[in-house]
Amino acid sequence: MIRLGVLASGGGTNLQALLDACAARRVDAEVALVLSNLPGAGALERASRAGVAGDCLPSKGVTDRAAYDAAVVERLATARVDLVCLAGYMRLVTPGFLRAFGPTAASRGCPRVVNIHPALLPAFPGLHGPRQALAAGVKVAGCTVHFVDEGTDTGPVIAQAAVPVLDGDTEDSLAARILEQEHRLYPQAIQWIAEGRLSLHGRTVRLDRPGAPAERLRSPSIEVA
């Protein structure tokens, strides 16, 4: 069982999906620490209700990003976190943070920081993925779980789930439909990591299926049971 550190800035619905999946033993992991940069974040309330340790390091007014991230890393290390999961965390992490959770032999070359993003990357990185999708007039939108690198939503893709863009969709209606898929996809990706089934080859993430050779995640839409 691996120990997760979840960083969240908002209400924490993806955190809740992870908490529920861990409690139901659908993910061989436990959330060891929830840390937010915003006092009063809903994610901290969810952690408290679940009996999970929560912490807040306010980021307002912070100018030394490296020192701030060093403090975050210290708290994660104290909680003996194996994998860091960004869940609506509205800060870019620094190179020092990424080095602290870099690849190990046990992670098969994979970084140990992951993120969920409400768009089919590399399209529509950054803020307001559903809004960007609607503005671009695409017919398919979705979400992406990816490893985190020094760019903005530029890390290697682990898995994606697609949803149709419907006539009459608003930003809110599209975002809600994407969010349903986020709640399904993120726990599945974490389970693959917990099982040691992912490996990184350049920018290609491969999934080892039981009894089969490693294969590339080819589908733009991963159906999650």
pLDDT of residue 11: 96
pLDDT of residue 173: 98
Q: Are residues 24 and 121 in the same domain?
A: no
User: For residue 219, is pLDDT > 70?
Assistant: no
Is 110 a member of any domain?
Answer: no
Is 121 a member of any domain?
Answer: yes
Q: Which of 101, 127, 144 is the last residue of a domain?
A: 101
- List 144's β-bridge partners, or say none: 117, 160
- DSSP per residue, the chain: -EEEEEE-SS--HHHHHHHHHHHTTSSSEEEEEEEESSTT-HHHHHHHHTT--EEE---TT---HHHHHHHHHHHHHHTT-SEEEESS--SPPPHHHHHHT---TTTTT--SEEEEESS-TTSS-SS-HHHHHHHHT-SEEEEEEEE--SSSS-SPEEEEEEEEPPTT--HHHHHHHHHHHHHHHHHHHHHHHHTT-EEEETTEEEEEPTTS-EEE---SS----
Average pLDDT over the chain reads: 92
The percentage of the chain sitting over the pLDDT mark of 70, rounded to a whole number, equals: 93
Is 106 a member of any domain?
Answer: no
pLDDT of residue 216: 39
Is 3 a member of any domain?
Answer: yes
Is 191 a member of any domain?
Answer: yes
Q: Are residues 211 and 168 in the same domain?
A: yes
Confidence band, pLDDT 50/70/90 cuts, at residue 209: confident
User: For residue 213, is pLDDT > 50?
Assistant: no
pLDDT of residue 210: 60
Q: How do 198-201 and 157-164 pair as beta strands?
A: unpaired
Residue 19 is part of a domain; what is its CATH number? Answer: 3.40.50.170
Q: Which residues form the domain of 179?
A: 115-225
User: For residue 214, is pLDDT > 70?
Assistant: no
User: For residue 149, is pLDDT > 80?
Assistant: yes
pLDDT in tens, 73-129: 999 999 999 999 999 999 999 999 999 999 998 898 999 999 999 999 999 999 999
Instruction: Tell me if residue 117 is catalytic.
Output: yes
What is the tally of structural domains in the chain?
A: 2
pLDDT of residue 3: 98
User: For residue 134, is pLDDT > 60?
Assistant: yes
